[in-house]
Amino acid sequence: MSTVLKVENLSHRYSSAWAIRDINFEISSTGVIGLLGSNGAGKSTTMNIICGVLKQTEGEVYINGINKKDDPRLAKRQLGFLPQTPPLYADFTVTEYLTYAADLRFIDKMKVKKAVAEAMDKTGITHFSSRLIKNLSGGYKQRVGIAQAIIHKPSVVILDEPTNGLDPNQIIEARKLIRDIGNEHIVLLSSHVLSEINLLCRDIIMIEGGRIVFSDSMDSFNNYLQPTSLLAVMENPPTEAELLKIAGITKVEFLTAKQCRLFFSGNKTISEAVIAESMKQGWRLQEINLERSLLDDVFKQLSRQS
């Protein structure tokens, strides 16, 4: 499978300080890729360089094998970009704005009408085609912004905080739209909302201190930290003191009369030990599950490493 987006040894310096240093990653297949990082970590710099808004100090960006420095116009034709604030013209109708966006993307004049219709259909805004953009809700303005990013059918779509400022219902609709786009395009998604990244993304690229500190699947991110607790449900639960006698258990927290959280350290077979003791003592264990680390905890741990 050929690489669609390749970032190679990317570095950028503002005055005397490096904003990013030696950023490397490759993306070959469609899907949603999360771009994570704290404020000032280098996410926006990386996105702006990929999109051609900013010229890098060092390194290369390739889109479908095209070096963005060598042929920026051809490379940018492979890209769609929605910045955090959608670049909309409030006094245009939806059709007028998307026609203008199609012209900016050098879409053949004979194909503009079809491209506009397809973009509106994919983003669910056809019924607002004649409405002024300033009269749309925040959610539909965001859809218009996404429509301009995909109107030319780019290989890579970059979305910067696409659900920022939306209400809960609009966020649900936006997430569905992003998933649908990810079925046909590579979507590089920047968001501060970890739960959103978890719901939408196949892979994660995390930048901290200007360097990549994690680049792997969402599952690997979720399991980056080893579990340190498990949840157990027992019909005839023992006392806290009895549970603390099991080797490795360091703390017991009863959540209900029959459910407890057991904290442990250094014992990978703690579940087996609890099951064996339950059978021996007649605790009538019904459920036992290792708890995944919270996404916030993983994020904090990776942030500290930078």
Condensed to tens digits (0 to 9), the pLDDT of residues 112-137 reads 999 999 999 999 999 999 999 999 99
The secondary element (H helix, E strand) that includes residue 34 is strand 31-36
> What is the pTM for the complete model shown?
0.79
Residue 148 Ramachandran class (φ > 0 left, ψ -120 to 50 alpha, else beta): alpha
Look up residue 270 and give its two tokens. 């703690």
CA-nearest of 143, 182, 194, 190 to 48 is: 190
Look up residue 120 and give its two tokens. 């509106």
Domains 5-78+154-222 and 229-290 in one fold: no
Look up residue 123 and give its two tokens. 């983003």
Distance (Å, rounded) from C-alpha 285 to C-alpha 279?
Answer: 8
Tell me the CATH number for domain 5-78+154-222: 3.40.50.300
Cβ–Cβ under 8 Å, residues 225 and 195: no
CA-nearest of 9, 27, 7, 11 to 19 is: 11
Cβ–Cβ under 8 Å, residues 196 and 28: no
The pLDDT value recorded for residue 302 is 78
| Helix 94-104 and helix 138-150, axial crossing angle in degrees, nearest 10 | 30
The pLDDT value recorded for residue 294 is 65
The pLDDT value recorded for residue 114 is 97
Question: Residue 245 carries which DSSP code?
Answer: T
| pLDDT greater than 80 at residue 293 | no
pLDDT digits (tens, 9 = 90+) for 247-273: 989 999 999 999 999 998 876 688 999
| pLDDT greater than 60 at residue 305 | yes
Please, what is the average pLDDT of the chain? 91
pLDDT digits (tens, 9 = 90+) for 81-91: 999 888 999 99
Tell me the CATH number for domain 229-290: 3.30.70
Cβ–Cβ under 8 Å, residues 306 and 209: yes
Q: Stretch 180-201: mean pLDDT, rounded?
A: 91
Residue 103 Ramachandran class (φ > 0 left, ψ -120 to 50 alpha, else beta): alpha
Query: Where are the chain's structural domains?
Result: 5-78+154-222, 229-290
Distance (Å, rounded) from C-alpha 193 to C-alpha 145?
Answer: 20
